[in-house]
Structure 1
């Protein structure tokens, strides 16, 4: 039998065994605060739907873009063994830098205080 197949079968058996043990030994005592839709345990004072400033979303998008950049550059950094991969990495960084400069020049990162902040 293949080692990978044995690993998959054993992992599946262990997962279901641990779930079954948790079902048998774990205590389940639901009460009103545990069943309420508010996880913090406090009584809500108003509507939970609040407006979100668009700057927060833009910063989150930029964070994701540059986080993905790090993920893409890591294999290049580990396997840089010729000049071709080096220049591919440099071109990738230049393209992202141009995009970042464009966002700064358009004022996408300027934070404007709104009435709700």
Structure 2
């Protein structure tokens, strides 16, 4: 217990010191050259802020959600070794049903359609 408290104290102290020092160290000297985008020594040809498809962003968010679902369900084979494997399977089924309902909702709302 003493070792855990020592490690926790060191981690919190080090994090606090680094966070405080990060506010003191940087020297902000903005000028036109530092604020301009750099393209291999040439002046920029177009805007540095190009828009991207909102559909692509939506599909990327959905991918992250379902990837997180897989990460949550990966330890499921070891869940039957717990005291109550039926409870583990219940919560896994609940997660699957909830995300399946979300996918059906996105599908019916047309969120997965590329062409408008």
Alignment match, 2:64 = 64
* Selected match of 1:89 from 76, 92, 110: 92
How do 1:1-117 residues align onto structure 2 when only pairs under 5 Å count? 41=40, 43=42, 44-80=44-80, 81=82, 82-112=85-115
Residue aligned with 2:45, SS: coil
Judged with a 3 Å threshold, the aligned counterparts in structure 2 of structure 1 residues 72 and 46 are, in CA distance, closer, same or farther, namely same
Q: How many residues align?
A: 97
Give me the whole-angstrom Cα distance separating, in 2, the residues matched to 1:60 and 1:83.
33
Alignment match, 2:22 = none
TM-score when normalising by structure 2: 0.58
Q: Any unmatched runs of 5+ in structure 2?
A: 11-33
Ranked by relative contact order (alpha carbons within 8 Å, sequence separation 6 or more), the top structure is 1
After TM superposition, give the deviation of residue 90 of structure 1 in Å: 1.2
TM-score when normalising by structure 1: 0.58
Residue aligned with 1:86, SS: helix
- The runs of 4+ residues in structure 1 deviating greater than 3 Å are 2-5, 35-43
Give me the whole-angstrom Cα distance separating, in 1, the residues matched to 2:62 and 2:78.
25
Give me the whole-angstrom Cα distance separating, in 1, the residues matched to 2:57 and 2:76.
29
Judged with a 3 Å threshold, the aligned counterparts in structure 2 of structure 1 residues 40 and 71 are, in CA distance, closer, same or farther, namely farther
Q: Deviations over 1:5-58 (max 9, x none)?
A: 9x9x9xxxxxxxxxxxxxxxxxxxxxxxxx896576373311111121110110
Q: Any unmatched runs of 5+ in structure 1?
A: 10-34
